[in-house]
Amino acid sequence: MARGSSGGNRLWLWLAIAAIIVVLDQFTKTLILSDFAYGDSRPVTAFFNVVRVHNTGAAFSFLAGGSGWQRWFFVALAIGVSGFIVWMLRSQGHQKLFAWALTLILGGAVGNVIDRLLHGYVVDFLDFHWAGWHFPAFNLADSAITLGAVLLILDELRRVRRG
């Protein structure tokens, strides 16, 4: 099989995994939107609740207080980053840890962009807390992005050790 064709097959694999992440993310958010009113919270354990909150900003509600421009800024940013990630996956898809990292980030970014386009906000629902302190609520897309970022760091540390 030619090198270009093999790389193309790899790209489709990574894009399929990203699509699965998007589907799972949107499925969970659909469940939350249908079963919870805004602000609802249901305890699951002593340190974890399922909630429904809306985030018009980015991570940790960064820029959430903006007048609405941030919605389109984050959509444009995610589209640009997604294009760059697809380009990187096309050329570097053979580097498994790196490709996994990019794929997780891609799936999470697309999942949150869909929310911004459909609702104007991102649906968050995972609420971890301890002794009255709550970590900012997040969702599966955020988890995928975070895991992808951790894998990027691990990949770079491995690269530095080998070099």
Catalytic, out of 25, 115, 127, 142: 142
Q: CA 82, CA 113: separation in Å to the nearest integer?
A: 10
115 given a catalytic annotation: no
Catalytic, out of 25, 115, 124, 155: 124
As to burial, measured by CB atoms within 10 angstroms (0-12 exposed, 13-18 middle, 19+ buried), residue 33 is middle
124 given a catalytic annotation: yes
Side-chain half-sphere of 21: how many Cα atoms within 13 Å? 28
Q: CA 40, CA 112: separation in Å to the nearest integer?
A: 21
DSSP 136: P
What residues act catalytically?
A: 124, 142
